[in-house]
Amino acid sequence: MKTKTYKKALSFTLSCVLIVCFAQAQDWPNLQRYQPDNAKLKSLPAPKDRVVFMGNSITDFWINNSPAFFKNNHYVDRGISGQTSPQMLLRFRQDVIALHPKAVVIECGTNDIAGNTGPSTVAMVEDNIKSMSELARANKIKVVIGSVLPSNRFSWAPKVQPADSIIKLNVWLKQYCKENNFTYVDYYSALVDDAKGLKKEYGPDGVHPNKEGYAVMEGIISAALKKLVKK
């Protein structure tokens, strides 16, 4: 009897684990990640100079490397490691618009080029960035688009050669911002080495900035936001 009871309990536990895992797998854009934090922010008056940073791991890791940069400037980090532009688009209303920021800083493209959520062309990334930008503009949120950071290799996608796709996407981003009166922020030029990769002193893994790399980025984005958010 004890054996049967144990087997039933084990079976029930495994079923519960599978249900939880299935539910998490269905949250493809990871909407659950910031829901508690968003609820806290929405319960308080929104600062007039709030800025939301929407992005992938480069944004996600930023706040841990430089928490004061976000806290002292009413900046809100909404980066999720590994995400691609279609995932960000699906959570854009919840994680950006609903927080009523003055501006949004969109930073994406690296994981699309790596193929994290399947094959993706540069044109597909462009379409998703257009959609996020149009949603922001429709809600009177100023749009800032950051260049994709330089990289000539992805450790998790060794067959991908990203350097030229990144350059191509950045050329389009700059022109798109110019045509639509958005703000383009060029991190790329300050971080790139002679091999179209990320300078080692700014990010040893070739993709993610270290503290020194983020310090460079902060100088660039701060100058842009100072002009934009104070208007």
CATH number at residue 66: 3.40.50.1110
Per-residue pLDDT of the chain (231 residues; tens, 9 = 90+): 445 544 444 344 444 333 333 444 689 999 999 999 999 999 999 899 999 999 999 999 999 999 999 999 999 999 999 999 999 999 999 999 999 999 999 999 999 999 999 999 999 999 999 999 999 999 999 999 999 999 999 999 999 999 999 999 999 999 999 999 999 999 999 999 999 999 999 999 999 999 999 999 999 999 999 988 876
190 three-class SS: helix
Q: Which two tokens stand for residue 135?
A: 């949603």
Structural domain contains residue 128: yes
For residues 144 and 186, the answer to whether their CB atoms sit within 8 Å is no
Domain extent, residue 155, equals: 48-229
The secondary element (H helix, E strand) that includes residue 86 is: helix 85-95
pLDDT at 10: 39
Q: Report how many domains make up the chain.
A: 1
Structural domain contains residue 207: yes
Structural domain contains residue 197: yes
DSSP code, position 93 = H
Structural domain contains residue 73: yes
Instruction: Mark 66-99 as b/e (b = at least 16 C-beta within 10 Å).
Output: beebeeebbbbbbbbeebbbbbbbbbbebbbbeb
For residues 82 and 126, the answer to whether their CB atoms sit within 8 Å is no
Residue type, 82: G
Structural domain contains residue 1: no
Structural domain contains residue 43: no
Structural domain contains residue 2: no
Q: Which two tokens stand for residue 28?
A: 């493809």
pLDDT at 227: 85
Structural domain contains residue 76: yes
